[in-house]
Amino acid sequence: MPYSVGEFVLNGPLSVTMSERHAYRASIFHCTQGAATSGDHDGHAYHADGLLVVEGGRVLALGEAGPLLKRFAGTPVTHFPDALLVPGFVDTHIHLPQSDVIASHGEQLLEWLSTYTFPAERRFADPHHAAEQVDFFLDQLLRNGTTAAMVFGSVHPQSVDRLFVAAELLGMCLVAGKVLMDRHAPAELLDTPQRAYDESRALIEQWHGRGRLRYAVTPRFAPTSSPQQLDLAGRLLREYGSVYLQTHLSESREELAWVGELFPERRSYLDVYDAHGLVGARSVFAHGIHLENAECNRLAEVGAAVAFCPSSNLFLGSGLLDLQCLESLGVTVGVGTDVGAGTSFSQLRTLADAYKVLQLQGQSLDPVHAFYLATLGGAKALHLEDQIGNLAPGKFADFCVLDLRATPLIARRLAQARSISETLFALMILGDEQVVAATYIAGICRYRNPAAGPD
Ligand code: GUN
Ligand code: ZN
């Protein structure tokens, strides 16, 4: 029996083979290279009646529909009226094994981990459970318009293996890794430094750089890895120059104090990772809420990125990320849902939380900048901006189609919108998976919202 992911993703009615030329007509928005800072309105392109031409899974052309329809006469066109086509979202921080712990009541980070998260992750020892969860997880990404993600697996290498198998079938861009954890967690979830090294190495050899898949060495966070394990993680990074590092950093005050007790010889939380060779251009640190200026400067200096996870930060009561400060110091920032501490797979809902987190600090997140963070910013955080993040010719045709009439309220509010900026803002404040009409990966429709009706 062929492997299938979700009910519609592999055989969607709009599927075309990758080599065919096909065009998509809709309003089209994307961020271009310039949109690196808050309030930069020049770094985007908007076509009220646009055409995206795709060939071989990549963008061939993008522009106004009128001239492009003439230039590409004879090319089949799928028309999405009342829709906004945008680049697929890039989720820079999410956990595969935590779909079942979303909306678990009452705890902050460390208690939440031991009460809810570790028990859920233990179940991944069962390959059938892991396989079912992988399918659910990828289906959730697609129905939320997310076409690329950086993913924490469980401590079990099979879970990551299964994730890569499924993502490869979808042609999806995924960076993932097995969690390294050799202390301060239930015995069934612990590996050892050597085992973690060997298992990570085998996964790297098998998956890193295969098609659109990449590997991230994944120590959970400093408290659950011994110095020996962190050392071996650093060794993997040295041995395989192009693999990534993903971990958590400075999320809650209680965690920060614990790290101080466990590593009294280190100047800061980031310095713990730095001392083990884990801070580099391909490092992505989730949260980074309570960083000192010296830590931000160090992140900027090496070109490391922070995954801003506002939904999770509000849900666990962890704190408010000072985005303006991080960006002004030159740190690359992407957006992470951080499911299951984050309460939604939707990047739109996550951007709504980002807006509110920043409002509480007197910062007003510009909607173009918000979409930048969730697309091109995420791509830059993963050093994949030459392949994804916007719809520039030559990039992968990873995009989603947002239904501007998805709900009566959205239709009503958008009828008042006078600019693309207003439209984007209403979508990010009011939207969620209901807004996503279709998701395409490398030019192939992998999700179609049954509620969106026929095209
Ligand atoms: N810190 C260490 N592990 C985790 C996790 O699974 N989720 C979050 N939000 N923070 C963490
Ligand atoms: Zn996390």
**Of 48, 38, 141, 135, nearest in space to 89 by CA:** 141
Residue 218 DSSP SS3: strand
| Beta carbon of 113 within 6 Å of any ligand 1 atom | yes
Task: Please name the residue that has the structure tokens 């899974």.
Answer: 57
**Of 250, 193, 251, nearest in space to 217 by CA:** 193
In a domain, 384, yes or no: no
Q: Whose CA is nearest to atom 8 of ligand 1?
A: 341
The whole-number pLDDT of residue 254 equals 98
Q: Whose CA is nearest to atom 3 of ligand 1?
A: 220
What are the DSSP E strand ranges found in 165-270?
173-177, 179-180, 213-219, 244-249
Q: E strand or H helix at 414, and its extent? A: helix 408-415
Pocket test for ligand 1, best of 115, 225, 251 (most atoms within 8 A of CB): 251
Q: E strand or H helix at 429, and its extent? A: helix 420-430
Instruction: Using the 3D structure, point to which of 345, 377, 405 is the last residue of a domain.
Output: 345
Are 156 and 198 contained in the same domain?
A: yes
CA 315 – ligand 1 centroid, Å:
12
> How crowded is residue 395: how many other Cβ atoms within 10 Å of its Cβ?
21
Domain span holding position 413 = 22-87+391-452
With beta carbons less than 8 A apart as the criterion, state whether 398 and 173 touch: yes
In a domain, 369, yes or no: no
Please state, in angstroms and rounded to a whole number, the distance separating the CA atoms of residues 363 and 225.
36
| Beta carbon of 117 within 6 Å of any ligand 1 atom | yes
In a domain, 318, yes or no: yes
With beta carbons less than 8 A apart as the criterion, state whether 174 and 141 touch: no
Are 224 and 315 contained in the same domain?
A: yes
For residue 249, the ligand closest to its alpha carbon is 1
In a domain, 332, yes or no: yes
| Beta carbon of 251 within 6 Å of any ligand 1 atom | yes
Are 45 and 150 contained in the same domain?
A: no
Q: Whose CA is nearest to atom 5 of ligand 1?
A: 113
| Sign of the alpha-carbon dihedral angle for 62, 68, 69, 74 | negative
| Beta carbon of 95 within 6 Å of any ligand 1 atom | yes
| Beta carbon of 130 within 6 Å of any ligand 1 atom | no
Q: E strand or H helix at 254, and its extent? A: helix 253-262
Please state, in angstroms and rounded to a whole number, the distance separating the CA atoms of residues 229 and 278.
12
The whole-number pLDDT of residue 222 equals 98
How far apart are the two ends of the chain, measured CA to CA in Å? 30
| Sign of the alpha-carbon dihedral angle for 195, 249, 335, 54 | negative
CA 113 – ligand 1 centroid, Å:
7
Q: Whose CA is nearest to atom 1 of ligand 1?
A: 248
In a domain, 10, yes or no: no
Task: Please name the residue that has the structure tokens 């045709």.
Answer: 397
Pocket test for ligand 1, best of 93, 179, 248 (most atoms within 8 A of CB): 248
| Beta carbon of 150 within 6 Å of any ligand 1 atom | no
Are 107 and 235 contained in the same domain?
A: yes
Are 168 and 265 contained in the same domain?
A: yes
How many secondary structure helices (H) and strands (E) does the chain include?
Answer: 17, 16
In a domain, 108, yes or no: yes
Q: What is the DSSP letter of 405?
A: T
**Strands lying side by side in the sheet with 22-31:** 58-64, 44-55, 22-31, 77-87, 399-403, 436-441, 444-448
The whole-number pLDDT of residue 454 equals 58
The whole-number pLDDT of residue 35 equals 46
The whole-number pLDDT of residue 17 equals 55
Pocket test for ligand 1, best of 93, 117, 181 (most atoms within 8 A of CB): 117
Q: E strand or H helix at 410, and its extent? A: helix 408-415
- The torsion angle over the Cα atoms of residues 87, 214, 200 and 374, rounded to 10 degrees, is -20
For residue 341, the ligand closest to its alpha carbon is 1
CA distances from 406 to 154, 236, 428 (A): 35, 46, 13
Are 421 and 446 contained in the same domain?
A: yes
Please state, in angstroms and rounded to a whole number, the distance separating the CA atoms of residues 86 and 37.
19
**Of 438, 356, 447, nearest in space to 400 by CA:** 438
Length of the chain: 455
> How crowded is residue 96: how many other Cβ atoms within 10 Å of its Cβ?
25
User: Strand 213-219 relative to strand 244-249: parallel, antiparallel, unpaired?
Assistant: parallel
The whole-number pLDDT of residue 18 equals 61
Are 46 and 106 contained in the same domain?
A: no
CA 82 – ligand 2 centroid, Å:
36
- Counting from 1 in the atom list of ligand 1, the atom nearest the Cα of 312 is 9
Total domains, the chain:
2
Are 248 and 170 contained in the same domain?
A: yes
> How crowded is residue 257: how many other Cβ atoms within 10 Å of its Cβ?
10
Are 83 and 95 contained in the same domain?
A: no
| Beta carbon of 279 within 6 Å of any ligand 1 atom | no
- Counting from 1 in the atom list of ligand 1, the atom nearest the Cα of 98 is 6
In a domain, 257, yes or no: yes
Are 233 and 199 contained in the same domain?
A: yes
pLDDT values of the chain reduced to their tens digit, one per residue, 455 residues = 233 333 334 434 444 456 799 999 999 999 997 544 444 457 999 999 999 999 999 999 999 999 999 999 999 999 999 999 999 999 999 999 999 999 999 999 999 999 999 999 999 999 999 999 999 999 999 999 999 999 999 999 999 999 999 999 999 999 999 999 999 999 999 999 999 999 999 999 999 999 999 999 999 999 999 999 999 999 999 999 999 999 999 999 999 999 999 999 999 999 999 999 999 999 999 999 999 999 999 999 999 999 999 999 999 999 999 999 999 999 999 999 999 999 999 999 999 999 999 999 999 999 999 999 999 999 999 999 999 999 999 999 999 999 999 999 999 999 999 999 999 999 999 999 999 999 999 999 999 999 986 55
User: For residue 213, what is the domain's CATH number?
Assistant: 3.20.20.140
In a domain, 55, yes or no: yes
For residue 109, the ligand closest to its alpha carbon is 1
- The torsion angle over the Cα atoms of residues 218, 220, 222 and 224, rounded to 10 degrees, is -120
Cβ partners under 8 Å of residue 15, min gap 6: 444, 445
Are 57 and 194 contained in the same domain?
A: no
CA 109 – ligand 1 centroid, Å:
7
Instruction: Using the 3D structure, point to which of 311, 345, 379 is the last residue of a domain.
Output: 345
User: For residue 36, what is the domain's CATH number?
Assistant: 2.30.40.10
Are 32 and 45 contained in the same domain?
A: yes
The whole-number pLDDT of residue 5 equals 38
Task: Please name the residue that has the structure tokens 């809709």.
Answer: 26
